[in-house]
């Protein structure tokens, strides 16, 4: 019978680790990588597994996850974070798929599949966010032990799998940001510095226009192109927070490069030009959404003819 190992990475997770562990009790083996927690995370975890490995709390999260994979003995690995849960429906789908592979809608040969993307429901500030790029949020979390691991270049890297991959239908529940403080803490201490270093490693140089373009593009993408407005006030707040996130990425790059005086000349005129271009982009998206949400064909023609000029 095919053996499944669940690998969980945890740090100071005493308030959430038990629900995570309860959701994966169906697995043949549970491995917990404890990232130097100083709360009761390990004490709670010992009720569910004896395979607990202590590691330094590496900001490059994937290093410790790969370590956990190296301790797994199952043919298949299911990788989770401490704020994620496996639903009963996903549990059943995983068990079926690794024991009796069935042909999927993608028409791939199930016997040749070495990994599966799993859609994820992000619960943010108490609400399942269905737009703004937060859903379906597919994560490659189920894979054959000898065929996959994380690259250790970026905190948001996915597992890299050798061979064919496919998609499951059921969901991981992700109790993502629960407070604004949590968002800001992770942003400033983990994600933003890493994003900045990746940009610099690619040769990026901070420039005047990007101080405006970075946050603006992110907001327009999240709120309009990815329809964040459909999530109501949560949608606009998350779009604004992600815009701020990308502004901070730019600011960290600027800092890493020594706070250079990157713009010469009349900064007011150049700011005015960038703001005018930003206004045009905002107008385009407002009219685009008006057209998309108008059922009257005459109004659609009118909007296209006059408002997009």
257-288, pLDDT tens digit by residue? 999 988 767 888 888 888 898 888 888 888 88
* pLDDT at residue 175, rounded to an integer: 97
Rounded to whole angstroms, the Cα distance separating 238 from 242 reads 6
Rounded to whole angstroms, the Cα distance separating 185 from 77 reads 30
Which residues of the chain are under the pLDDT cut of 50?
none
Distances (CA, A) of 20 to 39, 44, 162, 262: 16, 11, 28, 47
* pLDDT at residue 35, rounded to an integer: 95
* pLDDT at residue 296, rounded to an integer: 81
Q: What are phi and psi of 241, to 5 degrees?
A: -65, -40
Rounded to whole angstroms, the Cα distance separating 85 from 263 reads 48
* pLDDT at residue 214, rounded to an integer: 95
The model's pTM = 0.89
CA max distance for the chain: 71
* pLDDT at residue 306, rounded to an integer: 62
Rounded to whole angstroms, the Cα distance separating 243 from 219 reads 5
* pLDDT at residue 288, rounded to an integer: 84
Rounded to whole angstroms, the Cα distance separating 98 from 110 reads 9
What residue ranges define each of the domains in the chain, with the CATH number in brackets? 4-175 (3.90.550.10), 180-307 (no CATH)
Rounded to whole angstroms, the Cα distance separating 149 from 79 reads 10
Token pair for residue 186?
Answer: 């992770």
Q: With contact defined as beta carbons under 8 Å apart, do 265 and 165 qualify? A: no
> Angle at which helices 192-201 and 232-256 pack, to 10 degrees?
50
Rounded to whole angstroms, the Cα distance separating 217 from 57 reads 33
Of the candidates 253, 262, 255, the one whose C-alpha atom is nearest the C-alpha of residue 198 is 253
* pLDDT at residue 264, rounded to an integer: 67
């Amino acid at each position: 019978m095919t053996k499944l190992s669940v690998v969980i990475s945890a740090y100071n997770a005493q308030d959430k680790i038990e629900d995570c562990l309860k959701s994966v009790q169906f697995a043949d083996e549970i491995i917990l990588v404890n990232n130097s927690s100083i709360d009761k995370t390990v004490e709670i975890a010992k009720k569910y597994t004896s395979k607990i490995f202590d590691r330094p709390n590496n900001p490059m999260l994937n290093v410790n996850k790969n370590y956990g994979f190296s301790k797994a003995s199952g043919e298949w690995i299911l990788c989770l974070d401490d704020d994620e849960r496996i639903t009963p429906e996903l549990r059943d789908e995983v068990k079926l798929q690794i024991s009796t592979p069935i042909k999927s809608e993608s028409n791939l040969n199930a016997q040749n599949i070495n990994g599966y993307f799993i859609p994820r429901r992000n619960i943010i500030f108490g609400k399942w966010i269905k737009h703004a790029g937060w859903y379906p949020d597919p994560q490659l979390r189920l894979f054959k032990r000898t065929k996959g691991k994380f690259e250790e270049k970026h905190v948001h890297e996915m597992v890299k799998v050798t061979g064919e991959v496919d998609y499951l239908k059921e969901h991981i529940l992700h109790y993502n940001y629960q407070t604004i403080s949590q968002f800001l803490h992770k942003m400033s201490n983990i994600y933003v510095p890493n994003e900045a270093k990746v940009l610099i490693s690619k040769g990026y140089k901070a420039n005047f226009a990007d101080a405006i373009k970075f946050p603006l593009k992110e907001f327009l993408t999240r709120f309009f192109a990815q329809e964040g407005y459909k999530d109501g006030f949560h949608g606009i707040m998350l779009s604004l927070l992600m815009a701020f996130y990308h502004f901070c990425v730019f600011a960290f790059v600027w800092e890493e490069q020594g706070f250079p005086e990157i713009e010469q000349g009349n900064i007011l005129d150049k700011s005015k030009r960038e703001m005018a271009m930003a206004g045009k982009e905002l107008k385009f998206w407002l009219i685009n959404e008006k057209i998309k949400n108008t059922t009257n064909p005459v109004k659609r023609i009118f909007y296209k003819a006059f408002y997009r000029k």
